[in-house]
Chain A
Amino acid sequence: MKKVIEASTAVALGVKLCEPGVIPMYPITPQTHIVERLADYINDGLLSSEMIHVESEHSAISAALGAEAMGVRTFTATASQGLALMHEILFVVAGMRLPVVMAVANRALSAPINIWNDHQDSISERDSGWIQLYVESAQEALDTIIQAYKIAENRKVLLPVMVCLDGFTLSHVYEPVDILKQEDVNKFLPQYNPLFKLDPKKPITMGPIGFPNTYMEFRKQTHDTMLDSINIIKDVNNQFKESFNRSYGNGLIETYKIEDANYAIAAMGTACSTTRVVVDELRKQGKKVGLIKIKSFRPFPKQEIISCCKNIKGIAVIDRNISLGNEGALYTELRSAFYNQNKKPIIKGFIAGLGGRDITPDHIKTAFKKIENSSDTEWLL
């Protein structure tokens, strides 16, 4: 059944279908609609989760840590400064292998203070050990929340997942969304059965001190698991397709008209929707161009990207973030992925859409022109 709903509501409905036991919540624009809807469901008796009205995002993620350590499915949501405030505990949650799922309504970081969209908040947490999935539509937001729990709680993963949706540009946009049936979601996502939990019947110590003789092994295990999660993310995407007849590329990347393309635009989030329109326009002009949407930024799907670029001469990378003093993060990662390949496309980075500035079709077209016209030697006349 399709309904026209706000993407934030789609996230909240996705969470409701997963029935988390505990939801710590703290307001921050543009995430707030998500927790407001969840509070509605709980106070109307439609969802039996325990709300915790924490006094900060730092406590939101800490309370999620505590509840998840009890073996209880947990959800929270944040954005921007809130995610930055969580920074310290994000690493702890991942290091303790607690499969918390969190929505991030992507927003710029201060200063100057700015409540509008870019990806700087979550990109700045890329090394935290959280799986990061960027979505493009309200439907994908709902579906990805459900997939996120299945990925996170897989015993071969046990890592937290961030579901990132563009603040306002997606979070506040109304779209037709197919709302899944509870019984179907229950079949797809079984009840959480934790491997370890705090239980007086079987006492364990969680979060001990790791000295130099053990710390690196913990870090390597988490890294290896993150890499292995590539296959689990693909599996979950396939299972979702079998259950609900809908999927998003291979779960890690999604391509559009890439098969015969010579050039590609790589992007994340809602900029991909704009790019699809531009690809169609350019195709009409005879340009062989396609889209590579990077859905999973962590783990970074190097092989999947390389495989779909066999005939690609050039890639224009749209970054809604900037590592000040260097370049956009997606650009860095994409170029690094190709470094050891014999055949490398030309790759150019474009910074766009920071602090809520629209990424327009003209921006994408300009990026395409620059990559199409670039050559090894350029004249400075």
Chain B
Amino acid sequence: MEKTIAGISTEEFFASGHRACAGCGVALAARHALKAAGKNTIVVTATSCLEVFSTPYPETSWRVPWIHGAFENAAAIASGIDRALKTLGKRKDTNLLVFGGDGGTFDIGLQALSGAAERDQNFCYVCLDNAAYMNTGIQRSGATPKYASTTTSPAGKIIHGKTEFKKPMPFIMAAHGAYVATANITFPLDFINKVKKGLAFDGPAYIQVYVPCPTGWKFANNLTIDIAKLAFETKITPLYEIEKGILTISRKPAKEIPVKEYLKLQGRFKHVTDDEIRDIQQHVNNEWKRLLELEKNKSRVC
């Protein structure tokens, strides 16, 4: 584990020059995750923005072996690779890193991921959570927050964006016995250390990293890190780990900042009413309280 940013590898395994939008959080997370994993790594990527912008044939950004098959099967492809590594006697000295978007993880890829985790397959799955299907043009996913406007949950006159809260994916994975962590590109050291921990874990690891999307969330592309930081400070995306069912909060915000500060910077929330903001704040408060209790009680989350 690295104590300071100075300990992070300066070698790049994810080459620049790819076709991500300016300010893309996904590209940053992929770059940092690879710094954690290093050279001896095989990467599986679900169909996603990441797959499209990093591999326009014959170009590639990947300086490690990389494979993409389809949308919902990254965890199943990784399962085959995991067992192939075992049969080749290379399981211990090779890292297996999987990237999926939130749609490819929360929704269409959930079955394959659940199966792989139940089989205790050995890989670190990094869910790049930008809270909608960005690759297909900003459609609602199970990770989209309540009231967010997307192209399939638009802010209409009657219905104001998405009508449900986000699926509690980290807890679903914790119930499978996986090493679980949430991360945020604002804190690269924390993210890198969690990826290292996930790769070293003997069994399935699930890391959900929060990656703001200027295109989908409608904010200026120089604000990606600011938005991610506000998501942490307003407790929209708390940072925690769940190991053997026990939850530890990785870092707590220093001061109370209302969610409104986070919401108001993004076009996807520009329609929300004061009542709706109160609903979001209440939900955030409840979730945070639950996390604090879980941490304090040291009881298994599931």
A62 proximity list for chain B (CB < 8 A): 69-70, 73, 76-77, 79-80, 112
Query: A64 contacts which of B52, B58, B80, B88 (Cβ < 8 Å)?
Result: B80
Is B42 within 8 A of A198, CB to CB?
yes
Distance (whole angstroms) from the CB of B113 to the closest CB of chain A: 10
Distance (whole angstroms) from the CB of A227 to the closest CB of chain B: 24
Distance (whole angstroms) from the CB of A201 to the closest CB of chain B: 9
Interface residue? A49 (CB, 8 A): yes
A202 proximity list for chain B (CB < 8 A): 65
What's the Cα separation between A60 and B69 when bound, in Å? Answer: 13
Distance (whole angstroms) from the CB of B84 to the closest CB of chain A: 4
Distance (whole angstroms) from the CB of B39 to the closest CB of chain A: 6
Interface residue? A206 (CB, 8 A): yes
Is A58 within 8 A of B112, CB to CB?
yes
Is B51 within 8 A of A198, CB to CB?
no
B116 proximity list for chain A (CB < 8 A): 59
What's the Cα separation between A209 and B59 when bound, in Å? Answer: 10
What's the Cα separation between A226 and B23 when bound, in Å? Answer: 44
B85 proximity list for chain A (CB < 8 A): 70
Q: A58-B112, A72-B88, A92-B70 are in contact. Are A66 and B40 (CB under 8 A)?
A: no
Is B84 within 8 A of A66, CB to CB?
yes
Query: A22 contacts which of B39, B42, B87 (Cβ < 8 Å)?
Result: B87
What 0/1 readout, one digit per residue, does chain A (183-224) give for beta carbons within 8 Å of chain B? Answer: 000000000000000111011111111110010000000000
What's the Cα separation between A96 and B44 when bound, in Å? Answer: 14
Interface residue? A50 (CB, 8 A): yes
What's the Cα separation between A48 and B85 when bound, in Å? Answer: 14
Q: A22-B87, A209-B57 are in contact. Are A63 and B66 (CB under 8 A)?
A: no
Interface residue? B68 (CB, 8 A): yes
What 0/1 readout, one digit per residue, does chain A (29-59) give for beta carbons within 8 Å of chain B? Answer: 0000000000000000000111011111011
A214 proximity list for chain B (CB < 8 A): 57-58
Distance (whole angstroms) from the CB of A303 to the closest CB of chain B: 34
Interface residue? A327 (CB, 8 A): no
Interface residue? B63 (CB, 8 A): yes
Is B79 within 8 A of A66, CB to CB?
yes
Q: A56-B111, A62-B77, A63-B79 are in contact. Are A210 and B84 (CB under 8 A)?
A: no
What's the Cα separation between A290 and B83 when bound, in Å? Answer: 49
Interface residue? B119 (CB, 8 A): yes
Is B119 within 8 A of A203, CB to CB?
no
Is B79 within 8 A of A52, CB to CB?
yes
Interface residues on B, range: 35 or more
What 0/1 readout, one digit per residue, does chain B (45-86) give for beta carbons within 8 Å of chain A? Answer: 000000110011110101111111110110111111111111
Is B64 within 8 A of A200, CB to CB?
yes
Is B60 within 8 A of A89, CB to CB?
no
Q: Which residue of the partner chain A has the closest CB to B80?
A: A66
Is A59 within 8 A of B112, CB to CB?
yes
Q: A62-B76, A66-B69 are in contact. Are A50 and B62 (CB under 8 A)?
A: no
B63 proximity list for chain A (CB < 8 A): 203
What's the Cα separation between A22 and B63 when bound, in Å? Answer: 27
Is A203 within 8 A of B66, CB to CB?
yes
B39 proximity list for chain A (CB < 8 A): 200
Query: A63 contacts which of B58, B64, B76, B118 (Cβ < 8 Å)?
Result: B76
What's the Cα separation between A48 and B63 when bound, in Å? Answer: 33
Given A24-B80, A205-B55, 11 more A-B residue pairs with CB atoms under 8 Å apart are A54-B76, A62-B73, A67-B84, A69-B67, A71-B84, A200-B64, A203-B63, A204-B66, A206-B66, A207-B55, A208-B68
Give me the 4 closest cross-chain CB pairs, A-B, nearest first: A66-B80, A55-B115, A208-B55, A62-B76
A residues within 8 Å of B by Cβ? 21-22, 24, 48-50, 52-56, 58-60, 62-72, 74, 88-89, 92, 96, 198-200, 202-211, 214
Q: List 26 A-B contacts (CB under 8 A).
A: A22-B83, A49-B87, A50-B83, A50-B87, A52-B79, A52-B119, A55-B115, A58-B72, A59-B73, A62-B76, A63-B83, A66-B80, A67-B81, A69-B67, A69-B80, A70-B80, A72-B88, A88-B70, A89-B73, A92-B69, A198-B81, A200-B40, A203-B63, A203-B64, A205-B55, A207-B68
